[in-house]
Amino acid sequence: MIKEYTAPGEIEVRDDETLYSLLTDRIERTGEDTVIASRKTGPGSWANITTGEFYSLVRAAAKGFMAFGVKKGDAVTLFSPTRWEWGVLDFALAAIGAVNVPIYDTDSAIQARNILCDSSVTIAIADNQERFHRLYSVMDDCPDLRRILMLDSNALGALEGVGVTVTDEELEERIASVKADDLATIVYTSGSTGAPKGVELTHRNFLSIVRAGFVCMKEMICDDHPRLLLFLPLAHCFARYIQYCSIGSDDGVVGYLPDTHSLLPDLRSFKPTYLLGVPRVFEKVYNAASRKAGMGFKGKMFAKAAEAARDWSRMEQAGEKPTLSQVGEHAMYDSMVYRTVRGALGPNIKYVACGGAPLSPDLAHFFAGIGLPMIQGYGMTETAAPFTVTRVADNRIGTVGQCAPGSSVRIADDGEVQVKGANVFRGYHNLPEKTAEAFTEDGWLRTGDLGSLDDDGTLTITGRKKDIIITAGGKNVSPIPLEEIITKCPIVEHAVVVGDGRPFIGALITLDPEGLEAWLPTRRLPASMPLAEAAQNDEVRAEIQTYVDRANKTVSRAESVRKFVVLADRFTQDNACLTPSLKVVRPKVNTVFADVIDQQIYNGKR
């Protein structure tokens, strides 16, 4: 084990380059080709837009913003789910040096107001009438907000219309004034570890990590006509980063999906070669395949095939050669099970990438074993999304890979992961004290995560400093490994381990409605059983207890879950227990369910 690692090589970003350069460079290299696709009204139908058409739309929108008085450094908000116009507006703002301040489409009017005011937004663009009115309801509280446009009312057309007063020469002069170290965006953190903070990211921050992606993930995002179907929110750095990678590649195509209501037909018709998602997305893919197999012969076949896939992946990781019998078994399962699971993600799928939260190694081994390498990465909003990533040729499951060329990672004496590189943000907006706290005296970013480095500089994340639970007896407990095992239960959606300052470790469990609906009939119980009733059901509790017992076998008695409560409620964005990227907000869970924790787990005892 080593304490510090700097990846060899260097990623070059010239001072005169910006995010807009990704588009202009692509046109110069490859000319006219398809660059983006948008879903038409019905599922499975796509409209293609060429690089030249996209470029023209971007420039027209950029002129429109200038005509509306947007100056270099002015903040503009995009309040919309993932759709192709988001990409056009994002590049237009980058071109003229405006600052994109995205807001998650699920944010409330109050949350939006706080962001609009803190970043002094001058123009906001919502996608539909409902979100338009959410912004309009707080407009009087936002002194800098002059105008709200709506995509569904042809905001792009409005920008193009007013933009005719701006000449090409004026636009080019503005574009030339924007530099790599200018502010490109302020992205507000999800609040999973405290109050949201505005992360200031420059063009260089994003360009450096995008170009690192072309080196580190070349097979996935550059080779063999890559196609990405993007459905994660573009307000999140993870999705935005991969959008830049696709548009900045030689012939990548990105499809924008505003919702996942018709995801399966959209996957079949768009034919992505790679997908990215948070762990919950891939858990749902696995659980759906398991439920479809059922509990009879097909169900037993799926269970055996899944275990064989995990074993196959572990052998590959260990460098072991399979026996002839194992090769034959793998081929049989491929024709009967694996091909169907892969096909559900589209006929041309080659890679899946996961980030945003810890992924179960068992799930990663399953996907790898069925022939879909699960590329995993680690990063923060403060690092413009990824900082480390596993490589296709060195995809060690359980790790989050190595950092980009020229970047560094180290492990502090207390186990904290600290990082340094060109993609590290410049500071928190209007929060100089928080910015100072985020960095060490010698300039390394404190991530708040705990981890280790092997001798090759490969990083493994083991938990978060703030998540460590210290019981009344002084025992330090990392909740994440326990939670990962409990949430493997097919009827469990989330598990949150509690016990800070308490006499023993407990857990809050929420139920997965889809998993429950499929599982209940196998116990001769009605599939329509309400969550509140299921939470009290003895067979439901017994099933969950099985997985709690499995988790407890991995730790000492002092660290084991002694008591759990099955909640009648779910963790949602509405109750603030989930972020828009589907991460559990642990402090909020502890607050919202404080009475449950106090009375039902600890009986009011401290």
Enumerate domains of the chain plus CATH numbers: 19-178+225-273 (3.40.50.12780), 298-347+350-420+438-464 (3.40.50.12780), 468-601 (3.30.300.30)
CA–CA gap between residue 193 and residue 57 (Å, rounded) = 38
With 60 as the cut, is the pLDDT of residue 606 above it? no
pLDDT in tens, 320-378: 999 999 999 999 999 999 999 999 999 999 999 998 777 888 999 999 999 999 999 99
pLDDT at 47: 92
pLDDT over 80 at 44, yes or no: no
Question: Letter for the amino acid at 499?
Answer: G
Worst-scoring range by mean pLDDT, 109-118, 278-287, 538-547?
A: 278-287
Quote the CA–CA distance of 251 and 269 in Å, as a whole number. Answer: 19
Q: What is the mean pLDDT of the chain?
A: 93
pLDDT confidence tier of residue 264, bands split at 50, 70 and 90: confident
pLDDT of residue 604: 65
Asked if residue 192 has pLDDT above 70, the reply is no
Please tell me the predicted confidence (pLDDT) of residue 194. Answer: 57
Residue 146 Cα distances to 70, 187, 375, 482, angstroms: 11, 21, 43, 50
Residue 510 pLDDT more than 80? yes
Per-position b or e across 112-141, b if 16+ CB within 10 A of its CB: bbbbbebbbbbbbbbbbeebbebbbebeee
What is the C-alpha separation between 259 and 192, in angstroms, rounded? 23
Alpha helix (H) residue ranges in 370-466: 432-438
pTM for the structure as a whole: 0.85
User: Is residue 605 scored above 70 in pLDDT?
Assistant: no
- Whether the pLDDT of residue 584 is over 60: the answer is yes
In the predicted structure, residue 193 carries a pLDDT above the cut 70:
no
| Residue 486 pLDDT level (bands cut at 50, 70, 90) | very high
Predicted confidence band of residue 470 (pLDDT cuts 50, 70, 90): confident
Structure confidence at residue 533 (pLDDT): 95
pLDDT over 90 percentage in the chain: 79
Tell me how far apart the alpha carbons of residues 155 and 128 are, in angstroms, rounded to a whole number. Answer: 11
